[in-house]
Structure 1
Amino acid sequence: MKDREVLKLVGSRIRVLRKEKGLSQESLGEKGGFHFSYIGQIERGEKNVSLLNLAKIAEALEVNLIQLFAYIDEGFEATPLDESIQEVVSMLREANEEKARLARNVLREIVKGNTSI
């Protein structure tokens, strides 16, 4: 994978997380201590952002640093199913342990076919 591709993938992931949180580039920049144009450059893969700045962005997005690298592989077109799965994962990351366990059990039953919606 080329350097520029990595920057674009991480930038794209930041954009997805920012939009999931309902934040503008300006509001994310304010939360992280950056100018909104810097956030735009990162999202477009134009800036080679430092690890420390990535940590600040993750904190501003209220996600774990590793979530910035949980992007879909290049060349892979996201389907509506992929988007639904990503939404479920995002909700589970915000849930407490008890709610996450309950959701797992419900999903297990749905996938097994024991429950219909």
Structure 2
Amino acid sequence: MKDKEVLKLVGARIRVLRKEKGLSQETLGEKGGFHFSYIGQIERGEKNVSLLNLAKIAAALDVNLIQLFAYVDEDPKIVESDEEVIEIVSILRKSNPEKIHLARNIIKEIMGVEKE
């Protein structure tokens, strides 16, 4: 794995965790003691962030440091799709049980999974 790939994967993971927590780059930066533009550079894989700063970011996200590396061995396409999965889950959380059941059946049909 190339150096830049690791930076992009960890940055993408930080972005996913930040969005899961409902935080802006600015808010995460404030919580961790960083400028929001630095957070953006990390998320885009432009900065080779130190381990100490990663620990501060993990603390600001209220996650274990190891969670920032959850996707290091994964395909970058999976990391990029996490944002879409988070959006889908967010939509479903605002829906009633009937619509959730319907959405589940549609997803199963699209993915070729047998219905119960």
What whole-Å deviation, never above 9, does each CA across 1:37-57 have from its counterpart, x for those lacking one? 000000000000000000000
Q: Which runs of 5+ in 1 are unaligned?
A: 88-115
Per the normalisation by structure 2, the TM-score is 0.65
Partner in structure 2 of residue 74 of structure 1: 75
* C-alpha deviation, 1:65, in angstroms: 0.1
Percent identity over paired residues? 79
Q: Which residue of 2 aligns with 1:15?
A: 15
* Aligned counterpart, 1:65: 65
Partner of residue 3, structure 1: 3
Question: Which residue identity is paired with 1:74?
Answer: D
What is the identity, as a one-letter code, of the residue corresponding to 2:13?
A: R
Unaligned residue ranges in structure 2 (runs of 5+):
90-115
Counterparts in 2 of 1:21 and 1:5: CA distance versus 1, 3 Å: same
Give TM-score scaled by structure 1 length: 0.65
Distance 1:12 1:75 in 2: 9
Name which structure has the greater RCO, CA cutoff 8 Å, separation 6+.
Answer: 2
Question: Which residue identity does 2:57 align to in structure 1?
Answer: I
Distance 1:65 1:39 in 2: 16
Number of residue pairs matched by the alignment: 84
User: Following TM superposition, where does structure 1 have runs of at least 4 consecutive aligned residues deviating by more than 4 angstroms?
Assistant: none
RMSD between superposed Cα atoms in Å: 2.2
Equivalence for 2:94 = none
